[in-house]
Amino acid sequence: MILDVDLLRFEAGDGAARAAVVDGVRRSLRTGFVYTRHDLSSSLIDDAYAMLGRFFHLPAATKRRYAVPSSKGQSGYTETLVETAQGADKADWKEMLNWGPKLADGHPLQHRYPHRYAPPAFPDDDVPGIAAVLTTFHATLANLQRRFLRVIAEGLGAHTEYFDKMLNDGPTLTRATRYPPMEHAPDSGHIWAGAHGDINLITALPRATARGLQIEVGEEWIDATAPDGYAIINTGLMLEHVTNGVIPAGIHRVAADPGQTGERLSVVQFCHPTPTTILAPMPTCVTNEHPLRYAPVMAGDWLDEVLHKINLG
């Protein structure tokens, strides 16, 4: 069961209020998913989705001008039938526009990981003003994710700001995804996005224009639809790793219902630690009940391995 929690109550409340939010998050994340109330601007979300809708309905040749092949799918446009869920034999029926942080010229991370920090390829020439809107959207959502990780940290018995430093200059990625109508898929066997767990720490989804997100609970697929004013947060493989499996990665897919028509647009953000971060199980998560399970791994190396496996590397 996915629970509703209130990030704003955690931040403004007393000890009892904070504890109630932390408890709700811990219980809900047994599924890898939770809904949280947020303070994101609805007008900002409206503007971003409207502009992205205009972009995705441009001619295919125009959209391809914004592809950045050297970024391994971390910047610019990626067309349909490219990304493939790990282990799947059919590519996902979706197209994407990706953007992330712009580092200062000469930043050492940009030299070491050029594909991770490629300059955003915003389609301002064809959708005027979109760069400013999407840049603000990215920064605002990244701040929300940093704040939500503080709830998770407190629930794990760590300092509230445990995750803050590992996020500094991290390659957090915002992704707009258009899922075309299934009746236009080239052949049978494709779904919008195959079953997978995200590689990052957590992922935020403030809105989708149609149903389709499903989470795996036991052997069942359950619809995930947040109430108005709430964002969906799901956990990734890196969070599972640093919590020694105490918090599992949320396994999910995006699939149209039988007979569902029309397209789906969503914008998610993947919260990534700095590539040089060594991910190791937190001491508070290594207990008799949860003996040490994972060896340390560098975040950047792990992400590159995953990008290769899903046909983006």
Average the pLDDT over 289-313 and give the result. Answer: 89
pLDDT by residue (tens digit) across 158-185? 999 999 999 999 999 999 999 999 999 9
Among 108, 301, 283, 120, which residue's Cα sits nearest to residue 199? 301
- pLDDT tier at 248 (50, 70, 90 boundaries)? very high
pLDDT by residue (tens digit) across 302-311? 988 888 887 7
Contact 235, 164 (CB under 8 A): no
Average the pLDDT over 75-89 and give the result. Answer: 91
What pLDDT score does 17 carry? 95
Among 174, 200, 196, 173, which residue's Cα sits nearest to residue 255? 196
What pLDDT score does 312 carry? 76
What pLDDT score does 89 carry? 85
Q: Over 90: is that where the pLDDT of 287 sits?
A: yes
CATH topology (fold) of 36-309: Jelly Rolls (2.60.120)
What pLDDT score does 308 carry? 83
What pLDDT score does 143 carry? 97
Look at phi and psi of residue 23 and say left if phi exceeds 0, alpha if psi is from -120 to 50, else beta: alpha
Q: Over 90: is that where the pLDDT of 131 sits?
A: yes
- pLDDT tier at 115 (50, 70, 90 boundaries)? confident
Measured CA to CA, the distance from residue 137 to residue 139 in angstroms comes to 6
Instruction: Give the residues across from 264 on adjacent strands.
Output: 179
Domain boundaries, the chain: 36-309
Q: Over 90: is that where the pLDDT of 278 sits?
A: yes
* Entry pTM: 0.95
- pLDDT tier at 313 (50, 70, 90 boundaries)? low
Instruction: Name the amino acid, one letter, at 62.
Output: T
- pLDDT tier at 113 (50, 70, 90 boundaries)? confident
